[in-house]
Structure 1
Amino acid sequence: MTNETPCPADAVTRMEPEIAFMVRGLEGIYRRRKYPMERAHYLVLMNLLEGPLASGALAARLSLDQSTITRQIAAMEKRGLVEKRANPKDGRGVVIAATPEGEARYTEMRALRLERLSEMLSDWPEADRARFAELITRFNSALMASEGGQVLKGR
């Protein structure tokens, strides 16, 4: 018999409140920062910078329902961050593409986020930062898989 049955002191039990605290902390920090766009728009653009996507494919990548992604796309169109184009595969449907303004705002926000994260982890040894990056990537992959979504693309 293996000893794989979780016990109250296992790592998952220790992780759960830390993840809850991390999510809450990130939400609070996000509200106080003056970022150039909403977090949801940042994630949409992150995926669109790889190339135009149909809204259904974008919704699947982000584990969102179609109505949510439709509202986000409409708001982003009004801000000039994305545009609809004829689907090059059949010409009947549309794909969503980042505009030059969307790319610029994404780049600006990414630079701010990278700067902040670099400051937060400045006293971590590079090996710890690399290991954390590996583990958080694995965690996000497991999270998306557990929700039936695809792995979010990162830049």
Structure 2
Amino acid sequence: MTPPSTKARHKQATAETGPMLDLDRYVPALITFIANKLSKSANAFYQPAFGVNVTEWRIIALLAIEPGIPAARICHVIGFDKGPVSRTLAAMEKRGLIAIRSDPKDGRTHSISLTAKGRVTHDKVIAAAFERERRLLSCLSKDEQEVLIGLLRRMHENLGAVTDSSYD
């Protein structure tokens, strides 16, 4: 006897216990599962190969795009809390990957930039990052990849629908 399909299990569980998630169709779970597995595998690859973890790589990549940005901007773009970002930045500065400078006009604001060592690290990791992306998307046609990117951008822009304080 073959096991029941996800839909059949869902209907059975709903009848017995009330509503349950169908993890094959629940978009927040799918995105979370993909993100978690991508981060875990990136850490396992980037750390031994390049000496940076995935959080450091995300910051390095962002600083290559937006040199001199403040920590608040990094937190906003990456979606991390200030504490973990501050600790990561301090460790990266200590290792010589970034430079943190106080804004002469406002001592509370800091400008963060890649050092020469950070730029070299970026240039080594980016080829591996592009290859990982290529391999991940290899199951999709070029047209499907463009559709996926467009859909993900729209969802990212719509996050306020679930993160807005009026929703809570």
The TM-score, its normalising length taken from structure 1, stands at 0.70
Of 28, 42, 66, the match for 1:30:
42
**Corresponding residue number in structure 2 for 1:46:** 61
Pairs aligned (count): 139
**Corresponding residue number in structure 1 for 2:76:** 60
Higher RCO structure, 1 or 2 (CA under 8 Å, sep 6+): 1
The question of whether the paired residues in 1 share the 8 Å contact of 2:100 and 2:111 is answered with yes
For residues 39-97 of structure 1, the C-alpha deviation after alignment (integer angstroms, 9 at most, x for no partner) is: 11122122222121222333333333332222111110122110112425x16353111
1:131 deviation in Å? 1.1
CA-based RMSD:
3.1
Of 71, 91, 100, the match for 1:84:
100
Separation in structure 2 between the aligned mates of residue 64 and residue 139 of structure 1, nearest angstrom: 18
- For the structure 1 residues 107 and 59, does the alpha-carbon distance in structure 2 shift closer, same or farther, using more than 3 Å as the test? same
**Corresponding residue number in structure 1 for 2:136:** 120
**Corresponding residue number in structure 1 for 2:33:** 21
Normalized per residue, the structure richer in helix is: 2
The question of whether the paired residues in 2 share the 8 Å contact of 1:84 and 1:95 is answered with yes
SS at match of 1:120: helix
The question of whether the paired residues in 2 share the 8 Å contact of 1:77 and 1:83 is answered with yes
Tell me which structure has the larger Cα radius of gyration: 2
SS at match of 2:68: coil
Q: 5+ unaligned residues in a row in structure 2: which ranges? A: 1-19
SS at match of 1:64: coil
SS at match of 2:62: helix
- For the structure 1 residues 127 and 24, does the alpha-carbon distance in structure 2 shift closer, same or farther, using more than 3 Å as the test? same
- For the structure 1 residues 100 and 142, does the alpha-carbon distance in structure 2 shift closer, same or farther, using more than 3 Å as the test? farther
1:128 deviation in Å? 0.8
Identity %, equivalent residues: 22
One-letter amino acid of the structure 1 residue matched with residue 76 of structure 2: A
SS at match of 1:96: strand
Of 101, 110, 115, the match for 2:126:
110
1:110 deviation in Å? 1.9
1:103 deviation in Å? 1.8
Q: 5+ unaligned residues in a row in structure 1: which ranges? A: 1-7, 149-155
1:135 deviation in Å? 1.7
SS at match of 2:126: helix
